[in-house]
Structure 1
């Protein structure tokens, strides 16, 4: 995959999957438009990328605010002439149980994990239209098709909505040559995950995955860049599961599955 001379805009770019995608695209020659609300992390990212000779435009934005997104695109991205790939990666996790989820929590999670992706795509259509890549990748989750064990009902609902957004946007924008796809990662071992989950819990999760390991942010980034590349030029409105085979698991371990057949 060659991103030389292309512009890749990424929300939630200062950490996790967004950061890994920015690194991978920059290594392939892309100019990165890094959108994030963490100004300090954006500055650290700018210094790091500049030190490596990578082109980067940091843009502060609150993805949960339509007004903030509009300002970010119209002012923060004023020097950006086109976007070849938009990656909607920003998101937060809810923790409450179904009956204890508050209205504020519900609205905040949906505003960031779903509405923010809609408004970013909507605002950047003219930039995508001007680009050569004309691709969008929405970062959903395996929870969109099942249920989230780390997040609450608002997280699951938002990620499921992301798949509906992906299909509908792909249908409407296809006549402009703009492709819209989604990735559904399984358990991803980010720096934040390593801080909040013990090593024993990490081993337990890895044991549940048929391929025997967590995903890394780089695993997801590679799939995102594939969907944004000419190699996927006839792929739109679809979802790519990146889960190490976890979606194949029905609840029983592989050992119990095998033992039942002996």
Structure 2
């Protein structure tokens, strides 16, 4: 029996638009609701959210029962962390702050078993192999792992051609917030200079034949990115959806019952 098919990996390889939601509330209930909401993919964030290996594993377990595909962002592209997240069952990883072709190659090696890579062989203990029930996991796992790298500063943008040249990278994700800060526009991801840089990078990624992605709540920017070929676009964040609606609910109650 081979490793489970990764529908997200195959969809972006074919240029099929995949719409996603960021998960930062670090809770299986929220993950389950979000994964059943209709998004093609949801991303469990460990870089800017209070997630650890156990909370990520719990969220992967509930997401697996829904139609959305689970992606995970580690806090850093460390081989040891990548190994743990893969063994926990993550098949799609988004690695933050990639700045060179050499770093991108190291990440490819980290998700690949020897002799072609350096991923530790511990599948017998792992949820990824269904605890040894998937007999061919070791020989088929790499085919279904989707490796996405995040370019989000000027150094990474300067190295984009080198990153795109690395075999084994499925897609490149542009991070507007960090890029804006590095360009001198902190908190202004919508600045014209930042938008131009982001759109130019996406055009280059698409032209290379790799998938391009982004997280943006700007609906006009979402359309622009789609129109130039971005294939994985996150349009919402659970934290902002919850906070926005809770504040609106509190204001509505106050307007009707206290101030009315």
The answer, yes or no, to whether TM exceeds 0.5 is: no
Q: State the TM bucket, normalised to the shorter chain.
A: 0.3 to 0.5
TM-score of the pair, normalised by structure 1 = 0.36
TM-score of the pair, normalised by structure 2 = 0.37
